[in-house]
Structure 1
Amino acid sequence: MQYNQRLWSYAVGMDLDAVRTFVAAADAGRFQDAAAELAITQQAVSKRIAALERHLGVRLFTRTPRGVRPTIDGQAFLPHARELLRVAERAGASLRTGSRPLRVDVIASRGAGSGLMRGFHRAHPEIDLDVVWLLGIDTAVAAIRSGEIDASFRAVAAPGRPLPEDIEAVRVLDEPLQLLTGPAHALAGARSVSLAELAGHRIWMPGLVPGTEWAAYYDDLVAEFGLTIEATGPNFGSDALLDTIADTPALATFMGEQTLPRLPLGTAPAVRTAGHGLRRIPVTDPTPVYPHSLLWHRDNPHPALSSLRAYLATTSAGHDATGTWTPGWVIPR
């Protein structure tokens, strides 16, 4: 029989109230009892069933002296009708306030945004979280506006790319940059290094993607302080970057103070590859800080979003501190 394929071809746009009425009548065996269960009139039950039969192109019930019973087509449709109602219930439940996880974009699993979310999770273990990683602020803003995510950690707003009016943003963390070197680098023994002293040294950052906000940040840093930042070669991830920096005396890289791996200053930490001997060296005069902001949609009703914002307000400190540098396009505190 072809009714199964035909019934499902009509499922899109089907009146769920009519489907619910059909299931109630099939279970009760009488339109009158179905009407009482649904708190509608018996005439309304008859109209809904008739409309559903027209939509599907089949008869669903046979009348009997004691009420109604499903026809062979009605019996075939009944389990699918129950599934339609279950799917509709699950879909509705997923959208109810507080019933779905808070979805937040943190750019990278080892970045400061990820660390902030780990702290939030420890402070609020009762809140379900989904953490995602999106590339570029345009992608993140589009995901916020479509409802794919609830919030994102970004540096905003890059030159000529203002945020849409429906996107809110607040600066939550200024993360100092530090210089990461191998043990044989000329600056490996320094207790600190000024930006002026870095002129002429090769700073390798293969993760810089043109068009991203972090690429705009480093473009301004290079232009203002005359640094040499190289983004050549494929980006094989942080472990490969550490291997190269550790083994190449001519190369160094920038890494945020709260970005993994968390290396003690001037020491050889225990990282994936034994014997790295990597050094983290504070950068001064001024200290470049990477400004992390939280973005969200103005009309987002997720209750956990306000909890996240309140938590971040307690951890924020030191914006635009004396002796630090950020690009002029960064949003103020």
Structure 2
Amino acid sequence: MDLDAVRTFVAAADAGRFQEAAAELAVTQQAVSKRIAALERLLGVRLFTRTPRGAELTIDGQAFLPHASELLRVAERAVASVRSGSRPLRVDVIASRVAASGLMRGFHRAHPEVELDVVMLFDIEAAVAAVRSGAIDASFRAVAAPGRPLPADIASVRVVDEPLQLLTGPAHALAGARSVPLARLAEHRIWMPGVVPGTEWAAYYEDLAAEFGLTIEATGPNFGSDALLDTIADTPALATFMGEQTRLVWPAGHGLRRIPVTDPTPVYPHSLLWHRDNPHPALATLRAHLATAAPGRAAAGTSTWTPAWVLPR
């Protein structure tokens, strides 16, 4: 249905005269008549009766008017939903419990006036495609160095280096340690069923395992974090890696331990990606917030490790 014709019909119904509707819409009276006639042909009914006093709605016109008005309101809402500055800022955080989700919660507390639409995409290829198409405004990802560059229209800035921790059950050999050197983990099995081949986080852990001789197993189905915590709590031979900012809750009886990894501390490099031409005003607000409020950096003087392909700070 032609929304211009619907808008003309509503204007004419409100004004009671085609001439006044034409003045309101900044068109000719002839244009108003043609639009109304086209709408009447489409609907198969007469909408107005001409009288000496102007144009009066027929019974069918009276029935159509509230629906026509609602059509225009829906159209306005549809436009507003995608207009930069009036729609929510759409940001990909990968998963609900990870550091990026925490960053966005902090941003929301600091800027409650900014409407947010938080999504969770699978890997960096999907995230970059969504940023380029405008489906999302920004994404948190581990970004490759210039040797493996992003598309030229995608900008990025490294915002958080999140230290990894070792998560063990109470009977694990390292459960009582206050910290553990990274090299010592070569003697232990690290189980990470959520690592999916071909993703950026899989590349990170593959390089970590290769450089320090670690055994990182991604075997078995991934039933989610609750099942992972159950298995780690009950299996003395297994441990897993968790980001320092990853939010975990487990039953008191699990007795799980989060142990800092040192010498060096492996850090996961979270970068913010966005399209260089994205005009959403809240995007600049988010970037400014992250520049000053991003948590999770390794302590000053701490020796850290990231893969060689990671975008430098």
TM-score normalized by structure 2? 0.90
The answer to whether 1:62 aligns with 2:49 is: yes
Which residue number in structure 2 is paired with residue 148 of structure 1? 135
Partner of residue 195, structure 2: 208
Tell me, in whole angstroms, the C-alpha distance in 1 between the residues paired with 2:112 and 2:201: 31
Q: Check if 1:135 corresponds to 2:113.
A: no
Task: State, as a whole percentage, how many aligned pairs show the same letter.
Answer: 84
Question: Which amino acid letter does the alignment assign opposite residue 283 of structure 1?
Answer: V
Alignment: residue pair count: 311
Aligned residue runs from structure 1 range 192-207, under 5 A: 192-207=179-194
Which residue among 155, 158, 169 is the counterpart of 1:182?
169
Sort the Cα spacing of 1:140 and 1:158 in 2 relative to 1 into closer, same or farther, 3 A. Answer: farther
1:67-108 CA distance string (max 9 Å, x none): 223456544543332222111111122233422221211111
RMSD: 2.4
Residues 222 and 229 in structure 1, CA contact (< 8 A), matched pair in contact too: yes
**Bigger mean CA offset, 164-173 vs 139-148:** 139-148
SS at match of 2:239: strand
Any idea what SS the aligned residue of 2:253 has?
Answer: coil
Q: Residues 1-333 of structure 1: matches in 2 within 5 Å? A: 11=1, 14=2, 16-53=3-40, 59-71=46-58, 74-157=61-144, 162-261=149-248, 271-316=249-294, 323-333=303-313
Structure 1, unpaired ranges of 5+ = 1-10, 262-270
Looking at structure 1, the residues matched to 267 and 209 of structure 2 have their Cα atoms a distance apart, in angstroms, of: 14
Query: Shift of residue 285 of structure 1?
Result: 2.0
**Residues 291 and 326 in structure 1, CA contact (< 8 A), matched pair in contact too:** yes
The question of whether the paired residues in 2 share the 8 Å contact of 1:286 and 1:325 is answered with yes
More divergent stretch after superposition (39-48 vs 228-237): 39-48
Stretch deviating more after TM superposition (25-34 or 194-203): 25-34
The answer on whether the counterparts of 1:243 and 1:273 sit within 8 Å (CA) in structure 2 is no
How many angstroms apart in 1 are the aligned matches of 2:146 and 2:240?
A: 25
* Matched residue SS, 1:199: helix
Give 5+ residue unaligned stretches, structure 2: none
What do the CA deviations read for 1:14-53 (whole angstroms, capped 9, x no partner)? 2x22221111112332212222333433233223334444
Say if 2:46 and 2:60, in contact at 8 Å, map to a contact too. yes
Q: Compute the displacement of 1:217 (Å).
A: 0.5
